[in-house]
Amino acid sequence: MADVMVKRFDDLDSYQGQFLYAGRGLGVTAWGMNILKLPPNWTDYPNHDHLKDGQEEVYVVLQGNATLEAEGETWELEPGTLARVGHRQKRKITPGTQGVVILALGGTPGKVYQPPSR
């Protein structure tokens, strides 16, 4: 039997339908992976860092557009854009008029990933 797991976004557990637990749903154990489905112009995405867990993140825009803000600087995110944010950096994502779907990948350099428990 092949060691393969395939799931549709709609089949993943989520928090309020906006934060989809993609890594956990696929059984990924080497890094964190989530799908962010943020509605148009939504301003409630938290300004946050990862000081406690040391996790750096990479955002891959799959659909729509958003603005990434950190320390007063902004970057436009759209399909075909990659953004890496260090664990100490506070960051906030604000979706644009289309909303945005982002694949968020995270891991802590030099540390074995421990997936969150269910």
pLDDT of res. 110: 75
pLDDT in tens, 4-53: 999 999 999 999 989 999 999 999 988 999 999 999 999 999 999 999 98
**Residue 115 CB neighbours (<10 A):** 15
In contact, 62 and 84? CB cutoff 8 Å: no
pLDDT of res. 99: 97
pLDDT of res. 24: 93
* Residues 6 or more apart in contact with residue 5 via CB below 8 angstroms: 26, 27
How far from each other are the two terminal CA atoms of the chain, in whole angstroms?
Answer: 26
- pLDDT of 75 > 80? The answer is yes
